[in-house]
Amino acid sequence: MTARVRPEWPALAGLLALALALRLWNIDHNLPFVYNADEELHFVPKAVDMLGGSLNPGYFENPPALTYLLLVLYRLGLAGGDLRDRFAEDPRSAFLVARVAVALIGTLVVALVYWAGARFADRRAGIVGAAVMAVAFLPVFYSKHALNDAVTMAPVTVGLVGCLLAYRRGRPLDWTLAGAAIGVATATKYTAGAMLVTLLAAAALRVRDDRGQLKAALVGLVVAGAAFVAAFAILNPFAILHPGEARSQLSGQSAQAATAKLGQKDEPGWWYYLTSLTWGLGWAPLVAAIAGAVVMLRRDWRLAVLLIAFPLVLWLYMGGQARHFGRWLMPIYPALCVLAGIAAVALVDRVRWRPAVLTGLLAVVLCVQGVAASVHVDRVLGREDTRTLARAWIESHIPAGAGIVVEPFVPGNWLELDATRSYRRYPVRRPFQAYEKRLRPRMVREYVRDGYCWVIVGSHQKGRGLAAGLGNARRYYRALDRASDDVVVFSPYREGADPVDFSYDFSFNSLPRAFERPGPVIEIHHLRGCR
């Protein structure tokens, strides 16, 4: 007797294949250069440093779960046994292994969303929700980078299901699953700790349904709390062993979040994050998720609370911060995808016209924007970055030993991989914002006086200073234009397209259709009369 294949399994297999293809397409983009500053500075270099023996990352601004995962992969030799010695010369293998690992986890999230949808509603809702997650722009894009955003969605989704099971069944294993998953999520990205509100909601709902469950629910919360602490401690042990250092770094991070980024658009964070969902997740999925929340509130408000609590709390919290960045809201995407799937199935059941066909059509409608955006950016990432083009021009046109000024929009190894060529670099240091605030028109004269005849300007840096209305920065760039007898420009935009206004999101993810290659607009200035 042959085993019966569920009708949704081929669809799920196809979605997983599509999700993996979108995430692996041009995953080696721009290597050995890592142009995303967070990717360059955080998880991969920390994991490589720990190959020296110490398991203490000494870094708590981001939790280290992803760092430890990469450390395990590196110790297994997946990036080469002498990685620590080779990393400074060529970081390609370390970053490629890390990106592939993130892409695989990002693909796993698709399967987990199906599981969550099937648990909260039915398998059809799971399939539609999985389809949205498979192609949504931000989950695809950040599955191609060695960052923790896409990775966090995996334990978050498991935590959602764990909280549902704790509410419905209340077995010790259910509470353990919920607590441990939330602990793993928090050790991957701190803001995922807001999921604890869903855990509390599960306990409160059990007691509301049956007052006799009070003691059992309290015991369940203790079990879940212990599992949370254990999972967090295993994956972030030195935050507990060195609480003072961890607290100090987190306080510094919180202080930064309390101030707006230089050049950031002046608008309420709550509104910004709502609008980010229209392109990060997609217009149709967002509308469907809202409709799904309404459906669930009418059908079973308790399950609706479990699905909505975490997205609402995180949106309120992140929206109240002065700084905002679209990917910071990605932990709520699994719940939104499940809600979108629920809305689609509710419409199918209401219309009652060829359910399989209508479900497929609705899934297509929900996925069109995500597919278009993901394919566009995947193609863009396959072309040389403007920074790479500019680097090649510099090496072929500017003689070795020449004095140059390079704004801090490029990675540290940008001009250092070729040992046969070196330049006299003007001392420019990060952080990025401080650079723009230090600019003065007189600096151009100082460049000429000291023999720094070439100035490399990038719109990622210049744009934030001008968008912030810094008068000295504006006068500096005007003085630079007046003092230049030749300017070479490398543009990321297709011919005839209008430039994209400075945006922390769009400047770095190349989503607008105007982009035909990644990177900023780069200007290479040669200063008149300089030798």
The length of the chain is: 531
pTM above the 0.85 mark?
A: yes
**Alpha-carbon torsion angle 228, 233, 236, 238, nearest 10:** 150
What pLDDT score does 252 carry?
A: 64
In the sheet with 424-425, reading across from the earlier edge strand, the strands are: 424-425, 403-406, 452-458, 522-527, 484-490
Phi and psi dihedrals of 287, rounded to 5?
Answer: -60, -40
List the one residue out of 500, 504, 502, 526 whose CA is nearest residue 513.
Answer: 500
Identify the pLDDT of residue 445.
93
What is the model's pLDDT at position 238?
86
Ranges in the chain, pLDDT < 70: 1-5, 252-258, 417-421, 430-432
Tally of CA atoms within 13 A in the half-sphere of 138 that contains its CB = 26
From 306, 366, 331, 358, select the one nearest 128 (Cα to Cα).
Answer: 366
The count of other CB atoms within 10 Å of the CB of residue 471 is 8
* DSSP-H helix ranges across 258-354: 269-277, 283-299, 301-319, 333-351
Angle between the 8-24 and 92-120 helix axes, to the nearest 10 degrees?
150
Q: What is the DSSP string of 161-172?
A: HHHHHHHHT--H
CA distances from 499 to 125, 274, 480, 514 (A): 40, 24, 21, 7
**Alpha-helical segments (H) within 382-470:** 386-397, 432-438, 442-450, 459-467
Answer whether 130's CB lies under 8 Å from 15's CB. yes
Find the angle CA(318)-CA(504)-CA(105) to the nearest 5 degrees.
Answer: 70
Which is nearest to 177 in space by CA: 194, 214, 202, 149?
202
CA 189 – CA 57 distance, rounded (Å): 15
* CB-based burial, 104-138: b 16+ in 10 Å, e otherwise: ebbbbbbbbbbbbbbbbbebbbbbbbbbbbbbbbb
